[in-house]
Structure 1
Amino acid sequence: MTAKAGVSAAPDLGTLHRFHGVQPVLPVSDVTRAARWFRDVLGFELDFIAGEPPSYARVKKGDGSHGDPVYLRLWQCNVRDAGPWRGEIVICVGNDIDGLHAAYVKRGVAIVEPPVSHPWGLREFAIREPDGHLLRFAAEA
């Protein structure tokens, strides 16, 4: 079965399920360090950190005034298991993608791809965070 734009979802799912967000979980080698990096370098807020010693955290960006906030969960695991996830996370930022890119460059963030406008209507750039995960920031072009 192939999906086409404008085709409704399967009717048997009803209307009680209201999907409203995704919270990716990134395996990291040190939760405290990772949470600080997301806060101090990328400007996220520390939503919570749990465990003694810390083993799980969630960082947040946005207040809901322009759509759902972005949440990333950070899970401490064995250094061997904390390798980068093979996918990438796309974070929609609304506007001023070039200004965000410039700010991250000034902060020494590892830029993987500079801002580029795509034929599908987005302007994006990509970074790699210290545990090797690829984060792509996107805005309408």
Structure 2
Amino acid sequence: MTIALQYCHISVNDVDESLAFYRDGLGLEVRNDVPSGEFRWVTLGSPDQPGVEIVISTPHAGRSQEDGDALQELLVKGALPMIIFRTDDLDATFERVRATGAEVLQEPIDQPWGPRDCAFRDPSGNMLRISQEPKA
């Protein structure tokens, strides 16, 4: 038996604004853009992980009004779980993401527990960390 992660969802306020961040800043490729009434789901992924996709959608997409409102409230507070990406060139990735105008929470530093990392907020306020394994 095998098991592998296929999709991970990220709630955003504006899909198009977030596309610029995740596609242009992080360098993820758009794999699918699915409209459904007034909502849409966009999947993105890294060429280095062809079987894993991130789905971005607004809080009310596919949810009840009550559930969408609750998720929207958490998104506005910045209280949703952080997302952590890995790169092989943290400094170049940091500069590319910073060029999108994203809010920098932490410039690249060496962490005492091993990796070198940085942190941003995406346009919707989600916290992202980007890490690079220590050089041997």
Using the size of structure 1 for normalisation, the TM-score is: 0.71
Distance of 2:86 and 2:9 partners within structure 1: 17
Counterparts of 1:21-40 in structure 2, within 5 Å, are 21=5, 23-40=7-24
Distance of 2:115 and 2:51 partners within structure 1: 19
Kindly indicate whether residue 40 of structure 2 is the aligned counterpart of residue 55 of structure 1. yes
**For the structure 1 residues 130 and 114, does the alpha-carbon distance in structure 2 shift closer, same or farther, using more than 3 Å as the test?**
same
What is the identity, as a one-letter code, of the residue corresponding to 2:95?
Answer: A
Counterparts of 1:94-133 in structure 2, within 5 Å, are 95-133=88-126
Instruction: Provide the aligned length of Structure 1 versus Structure 2.
Output: 121
Distance of 1:41 and 1:135 partners within structure 2: 12
Using the size of structure 2 for normalisation, the TM-score is: 0.73
Match of 2:64 in 1: none
Residue 21 (structure 1) shift: 2.6
**Comparing 110-119 with 100-109, which one deviates more in the overlay?**
100-109
Structure 1 residue runs without a partner (length 5+): 1-15
* Rg comparison, structure with higher value: 1
Contact 1:26 / 1:85 at 8 angstroms: preserved in 2? no
What is the identity, as a one-letter code, of the residue corresponding to 1:32?
Answer: D
Distance of 2:85 and 2:115 partners within structure 1: 12
Contact 1:61 / 1:69 at 8 angstroms: preserved in 2? no
Contact 2:25 / 2:100 at 8 angstroms: preserved in 1? yes
Contact 1:116 / 1:123 at 8 angstroms: preserved in 2? yes
* Deviations 1:75-125 (CA, angstroms, capped at 9, x unpaired): 2224853314532111111x2211211222233221111111122221111
Match of 2:54 in 1: 72
Structure 2 residue runs without a partner (length 5+): 61-67
Which among 25, 33, 56 is matched to residue 41 of structure 1? 25
**Comparing 129-138 with 32-41, which one deviates more in the overlay?**
32-41
